Amino acid sequence: MENVSNEDKLEAIKSLQSTINKLENALSQMTQKGANTTLVKKRLKAAYIGLAMLESAWNQRPHQYTPEDIAEARNVITGLLPSIENSYAKSKAGSPQRTLLERRIKSLKLAVQAIEDIST
């Protein structure tokens, strides 16, 4: 994790914050519609934990998550990556969507790496 530039760190944190915001909006809309929110809640919790792990690794911020929560977050994030990578592969080169997906993939991979570094 020490070989990550400050620019990449800032981008990864911003990307995860954006992901959290998107998931919070989805959760709110789904709750209003009475839809099943279990999956969105799991993903939101994983994104929060991923962000906390990055901030813990890079900014020495403490976190309150249990090893079980962290392990589950790692599994959820790892499970998200294939579908995001598939969307990225289908996106047009140079499009804003492709840039967003590229940053999201990078931030999620860094979060998994931070989780693995903290867990060992």
**In a structure prediction context, what are the per-residue pLDDT tens digits for the chain, which is 120 residues long?**
668 999 999 999 999 999 999 999 999 999 999 999 999 999 999 999 999 999 999 998 899 999 999 999 999 999 999 999 999 999 999 999 999 999 999 999 999 999 998 877
Indicate the Cα dihedral angle 96, 99, 104, 106, nearest 10°: 180
pTM (two decimals): 0.93
**53 and 115 Cβ atoms separated by less than 8 Å:** yes
What are the domain boundaries of the chain?
6-119
**CATH classification (class only), 6-119:** mainly alpha
**102 and 81 Cβ atoms separated by less than 8 Å:** no
